[in-house]
Structure 1
Amino acid sequence: MDTYNDDYYEEQASQEEIYLEETEEELRLILECDDLYPNSGPPQPESINEQQAIATRSTGNCDDPPLSQEIVEAMLRSI
């Protein structure tokens, strides 16, 4: 019975740790975004073509390497 309780609590602790790590990452991303655009939020594209171009550049192809932070910032500045 004692082993069952230990295993159960260990599994619960593991799930809680995963949840906390995911939540921390989500909050960090939110705070970083707030730091980039403290007053007005991110700049909005003016036309549908700009929106489509940004979507294409940001999602890309699954075979493409991930974008670096500098590339993302340059993309945002180009809007």
Structure 2
Amino acid sequence: MNRRPEHLTEREEQILAVVRRWIAEHGEGPSVREIADAVGMKSTSSVAYHLGNLEGELGALVRDGHGWRTCRLAR
């Protein structure tokens, strides 16, 4: 399945908005826990799943290192 960034789910849009805002305010990406808190999710595993989609098949995020704090917007 070839999904492109304009086909984000509502949750992916929420997560991407949090990442965008956090990077603008703090200069680095948020942690998975910080994202979960911001979008009202309890499961960090679910947040990591959505982040993986945003990074992988959607190409909206890029990580420069191992953790999500190193992520940046692909566009």
Shorter-chain TM-score bucket reads under 0.3
Task: Give the number of the structure whose residues are more often strand, by fraction.
Answer: 2
Q: TM-score, length-normalised on structure 1?
A: 0.25
TM-score, with structure 2 as normaliser: 0.26
Higher share in helix: 1
- Rg larger in 1 or in 2? 1
